[in-house]
């Protein structure tokens, strides 16, 4: 039983990495933001049912940690990979003579 829980927890983490990456690129609390946060939930529920770990109380803490951990690390990856739009130094118009 513990190996099934471990497999589902790791799959949940991996599934949420691209969702977090995507979430970091959309405006907070926009409709697309809600999609990025909640799109993985049906797949997680399906994994729980197919693996027969069910919804026992002891499965929630590791699942929640890995769900939000994947979201967090995916968003962090995007922020580190893509520089902020305002951080680039633009050439000054006054320097051209």
Q: What is the pLDDT of residue 12?
A: 96
Residue 15 included in any domain: yes
Residue 95 included in any domain: no
Residue 94 included in any domain: no
Residue 54 included in any domain: yes
- Which residue range(s) make up the domain with 35? 2-82
pTM (whole model) above 0.85? no
The per-residue pLDDT of the chain, averaged, comes to: 87
Model pLDDT for residues 15-61, shown as the tens digit of each residue:
999 999 999 999 999 999 999 999 999 999 999 999 999 999 999 99
When comparing pLDDT for 77 and 89, which is higher? Answer: 77
Residue 92 included in any domain: no
Number of domains in the chain: 1
Comparing C-alpha atoms, which of 59, 57, 39 is closest to residue 48? 59
CA distance linking residue 73 with residue 35, whole number of Å: 18
Residue with tokens 């929640």: 64
Residue 88 included in any domain: no
Residue 87 included in any domain: no
Residue 22 included in any domain: yes
CA distance linking residue 35 with residue 12, whole number of Å: 16
């Amino acid at each position: 039983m513990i190996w099934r829980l471990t497999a589902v927890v790791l799959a949940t983490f991996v599934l949420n990495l691209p969702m977090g990456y995507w979430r970091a690129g959309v405006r907070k609390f926009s409709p697309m933001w809600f999609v990025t946060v909640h799109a993985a939930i049906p797949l997680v529920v399906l994994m729980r049912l197919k693996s027969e770990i069910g919804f026992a109380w002891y499965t929630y803490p590791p699942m929640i940690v890995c769900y939000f951990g994947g979201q967090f690390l995916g968003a962090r990856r995007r922020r580190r990979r893509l520089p902020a739009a305002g951080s680039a130094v633009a050439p000054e118009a006054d320097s051209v003579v």
